[in-house]
Structure formats: C-alpha cells, structure tokens
Structure 1
Amino acid sequence: MRFHNFDLNLLVALDVLLKECSVTRAAEALSLSPSAISNSLSRLREYFDDDLLVQIGRKMELTPRAEGLREAVRDLLLRFDSTIAAPPAFEPHASDRVFRIFSSDYAQLVLGPALMTLAAQQKARVRFEFAQQVAQPHRDLERGEADLLIIPTGFMSPDHPREVLYKEDFVCMVWRDAELARGELTFERYVSAEHVVMQPNNGRVDAFEGWFLKRYGVTRRVEVLTYSFITLLALLVGTNRVATVHERVARRLVGVWPLEIRPTPIKIDAMEQAMQWHKFRTNDPGLSWLRSLVAEAASRIDEY
C-alpha cells in the first residue's frame, strides 16, 4: 500500500532500523533475512534522499534526518496499534499477551503479591514482564516499549494520564546489634551516622539528597550505594550504618535479617505511587484490564 508515493509496508522496517541501528539486529527482530532489510533500507534511503544510517567505525549511527524521524514513526505506529490494530475485546483467560511493566524492585515486592494473586484468581494466561526503571520512563511509553509505568508521581510525565495507587511512608532501619540501635535515633545521630542509600542504575544522584540538603542545610554521609531497594537492607547487617526506606519494605523484610525499625528523626513527606500509560492507549481493552487489576491490587497490598 502506498501513501504519497511511500510504501507503508516500509514503516515497520524503518521503525526497527531506527531503534536498532543495525541491519542484522533489525532482521532478527522482524524475523527476516538481512538482505531483505538491506533492500528495505535502500528503498527508504531513496525515498527520503538521505542515508538514514551511516557507518562510523564499527557501528552505524543515525543521520540528523533519521533522528528527526524516529519519534514520529514510533508515534505513528503506536497510534495504529492502539486504534486500528487493537482487538475489540479482551479475555485474560484466553490471551497470551505480554504486558511490559516498568517498576522498581520495591514496587514488585509491595504490589506484586496482590497483583499475581488477582491474576491467578481470574485464571489469566497473560504474561508479565517487569523491567527496571530508567532515567526518562515516559520515553519508553512513547516508544511503545512499556505498557505501564508504576513509579512515584514526581517522576511522571505531564503528557500522559496517570492514576495514584497508594501512599507510602518512610522509616529508618539499623542492624539490631549496632550502636545506633541503642537509644533514640535523634537527628544528630542520624546526620552523623554512615548511610546506605539506593541509587538508580542510570547513575542519577538520589533526589532525597538534594531535598535533605535544601531543607536542613547538611548532607548525609553516604558510605554505601546500591541499585536495589531490597539488597539495601542486607547491607546494613554487621555495621553501624542506617538506611531510610519505604515502610512497607521494612515491615516485610525486618525478619529476614537481624534488623530493627526506627522512626525517622526528620519529617519526610509520604510518597505517592502511581501508574501511568500512553494517552493513545487509554481505550486499549487489554491495558484497561491491566490497569483495573493493578488498581485493585494496590487497594489490597497490606493483606500480603
């Protein structure tokens, strides 16, 4: 099919080429031969009068024209997928659809048990794929690489719909035999102590540090960094360090290691955990089912 002399069958090939920046990987993703993808690339170059992909050293990189096309092509295909290609109804017990959810290990620990239980009760045959959070999660929504984000509202895009799921408070945790476990954990002891902190794997500094400095005029002594909210607690064992963590994580894992919970000696606003999806996919029946399931799971997280 052609539109303004453009073969619409080339759109999918173009989208994958712009994502993979490789003829070989694009061929694998589309289950086609490299020669077929090379032929598509030649036709695309002819139509746009641009190389699109150029060899630089051992890898191929996008030309400025290709960079300008990448988001537009992904957006066009996502619109098509969410309107014309979307099935009119969704039956979870008869579907083998894969739902890709971007969330932290914290969200999976707290929300996961209720979510999996509800899906099992509905005899859902769908599959869930959880992926790590990234620096700009809305980009994954817009590229169609994530069906749903489950993250704090502060990290969400204003361009897509959201729904707040629940609020989360914070507590401190220490090794039960540590000096910090004796007596009250005061502000002075908290500030002078060594801290174990979770830092996202994208290398971004924990936003809590900037907030803490701005409010109290001091910085914490961060001695240990980890990419996981769960292993954060294990790294306290045998030390005189403290960690500031989500209360539900602390309650669930306090008995796993010899740790104790202490109130935070500072005022920390509760975190709002929410889900966000692409605005073009609001009426996707499968995604509507998933959102309903997540919302119900959020209302029951304290049962597990």
Structure 2
Amino acid sequence: MRFNKLDLNLLVALDALLTEMSISRAAEKIHLSQSAMSNALARLREYFDDELLIQVGRRMEPTPRAEVLKDAVHDVLRRIDGSIAALPAFVPAESTREFRISVSDFTLSVLIPRVLARAHAEGKHIRFALMPQVQDPTRSLDRAEVDLLVLPQEFCTPDHPAEEVFRERHVCVVWRDSALAQGELTLERYMASGHVVMVPPGANASSVEAWMARKLGFARRVEVTSFSFASALALVQGTDRIATVHARLAQLLAPQWPVVIKESPLSLGEMRQMMQWHRYRSNDPGIQWLRRVFLESAQEMDAALPGIC
C-alpha cells in the first residue's frame, strides 16, 4: 500500500532503524534479512532525499531530518497498533502475549510477585519482561517500548492516562546496635546523621524520598548512594547511618537484616504509586486485563503488608 508514493511498509522499517540505530538489529527486530533492511534504508533515503542514518565511527547517528521523523513515525504506528490492529478480545488462558512493565526494585519486591502469581492463575503462558526504571521512564512509554509504567504520581506524564495502584509512606531504618536504635529518632538526630540514599541510574536522577526532602527544604548529609531501594536496609548495618525507605519494603525485608525500623521525623506524606499506559492502548483488552490484575494484586498486598502503624 502506498501513500503519497511511499510504500507504507517502509514506515515499519524506518521505525525499527531509528529505534535500534543499527541495520542488523532493526532487521532482527522486524524479522527481515539484513540485505532486505539495507534495501529498505536505500529506498527510504531516496524517498526522503536524506541519508537518515550516518555511520560515525562504529555506530550510526540520525540526521536532523531523521530526528524529526522519529517520534512522528512511531506515533503513527502506535495509533494503528492501538486501534485497527488491536484484538477484539483478550483470553488469558489462551494468550502467549508478553507484557513489558517498567518498575522500581521497590515495586518488584512488594507487588510484582503477587501480580505474577495472579496472572499465572488466569493465563499460564502469558509472559512478562520486567524492565528497570532509568531517568525519564515516560520516554519509554511515549515510544511504546513498555506496556505499563509503575511509578510515583510526581513522575507521571500528563500525556497518558494513569490510575492509582496503592499508597505508601516512608520510615527510617537503622542498625540495631547503633545509638540511633535507642530512643526517639528526632529531627535533630536525623539531620546530624549520615544517610544511605537510593539514586536511580541516569544523570540528575533522584529518588522520590530525596525529591520530597528537597521540597521540604532539608539538606541531608548523604554518605552512601545506591541504585537499589532494597539494598538500603543492608547498607546501614555496622554504621550510624539512616536509610529512609518505603514502609512495606522495610516490613518485608527487616527480618533479613539486623535493623530497627523508626518513624521518620520528616512529614513526607503518602506516596501515590500509579500505573500508566499509552493513551492509544486504553482500549487494548490485554492492557485492561493487566490493569485489573495489578489492582487486585495491590488489594491482596494491602491485606498482607498493610505497612507499619
């Protein structure tokens, strides 16, 4: 099929090329031979009268024209995928679909095991690709590289729909043999101590807790940073440091480490953990099923891990 003399099949090839920045990887992604992908690139270059991809050393770089085309082409293909190509029904027991979900290790620890168990009970052959969150995870959603994001409300994009999954608060964790384990953890003791802080991969990235603390105007003395929420409980042992972590995570992992859980002296408020999906996938029956599984799993989690009172 052609539109304005362009073979629309080439848009799929162009999308793969601009996503992978590699002829071989793009060919593999859409199940073409490398020679067929090279031929598609040649035809695209001729149509757009632009090189589109230029070899720079060992890698390929997009031209300015390609940068302009990248999001537009991807958006068009997602519209088609989310409407015309969408299946009229989703039957979990018969599906082999793979869902790509971007989550933090906090969600991975407290909620995802319940999601997988509930999903498996309904569809034993449904697959999941759990993907780490890096800087600006909503970019992956824009480009439909993930089916679902699970992240705090503050980091949701207004461009796509979102729904609350559960709420969480923060507590402090200290080594049980430290002086901080004794007595009340006051704001003065909190601010005078060193801290273990989770910092996600990516430049200028920060945790929700750090963002909220900055919002309140507190500058803590950060002595250890980690890329994992779950590691914070282990990293305070043998020290006089404090880790401020999610209450459910502390409740789940504290028995594994010699730590004591303390109320946070900071009024951080509740964190609203959301799930977000691409706006063109709202009517996708598979995404609708996945969202239901998440909500039911969160209700089950609330009953088992209500948080620390």
Place the TM-score, normalised by the shorter chain, in its bin.
over 0.9
- Contact 2:167–2:272 (CA under 8 A) maintained in structure 1: yes
Q: Structure 2: which 5+ runs fail to align?
A: 305-309
CA distance in 2, matches of 1:221, 1:194: 5
The superposition leaves residues 221-276 of structure 1 with CA deviations (integer Å, 9 ceiling, x where unpaired) of 10100000111111111111110110000111110111110011121111000101
- Contact 1:233–1:243 (CA under 8 A) maintained in structure 2: yes
Q: Structure 1: which 5+ runs fail to align?
A: none
Q: TM-score, normalised by structure 1?
A: 0.96
The corresponding residue for 1:180 is 180
Shift of 1:214: 5.0
The corresponding residue for 1:167 is 167
CA distance in 2, matches of 1:31, 1:123: 27
Q: Partner of 1:146: helix, strand, or coil? A: coil
Shift of 1:201: 1.0
Q: Partner of 2:272: helix, strand, or coil? A: strand
CA gap 1:268/1:211 in 2 versus in 1, 3 angstroms:
closer
Moved over 6 A (4+): none
Q: Partner of 2:171: helix, strand, or coil? A: strand
- Contact 2:213–2:268 (CA under 8 A) maintained in structure 1: no
AA partner of residue 287 (structure 1): I
Shift of 1:9: 1.3
Are 1:212 and 2:224 matched, yes or no? no
The corresponding residue for 2:307 is none
CA distance in 2, matches of 1:81, 1:169: 38
The corresponding residue for 2:122 is 122
The corresponding residue for 1:243 is 243
Are 1:278 and 2:257 matched, yes or no? no
CA distance in 2, matches of 1:123, 1:88: 18
Root mean square deviation, CA, Å: 1.4
- Contact 2:212–2:268 (CA under 8 A) maintained in structure 1: no
Number of residue pairs the alignment of both structures matches = 303
CA distance in 2, matches of 1:302, 1:101: 21
The corresponding residue for 2:97 is 97
AA partner of residue 151 (structure 2): I
- Superposed, 1:1-304 pairs within 5 Å as 1-203=1-203, 204-206=205-207, 208-209=209-210, 211-216=212-217, 218-304=218-304
- Contact 2:50–2:65 (CA under 8 A) maintained in structure 1: yes
The percentage of counterpart residues that share the same residue type is 51
CA gap 1:303/1:123 in 2 versus in 1, 3 angstroms:
farther
The superposition leaves residues 46-90 of structure 1 with CA deviations (integer Å, 9 ceiling, x where unpaired) of 100111011222221100100000001111111111111111111
Q: Partner of 1:254: helix, strand, or coil? A: helix
CA distance in 1, matches of 2:286, 2:214: 44
Q: Partner of 1:243: helix, strand, or coil? A: strand
CA distance in 2, matches of 1:110, 1:147: 20
Q: TM-score, normalised by structure 2?
A: 0.94
- Contact 2:209–2:244 (CA under 8 A) maintained in structure 1: no
AA partner of residue 158 (structure 1): P
- Contact 2:95–2:123 (CA under 8 A) maintained in structure 1: no
AA partner of residue 300 (structure 1): E
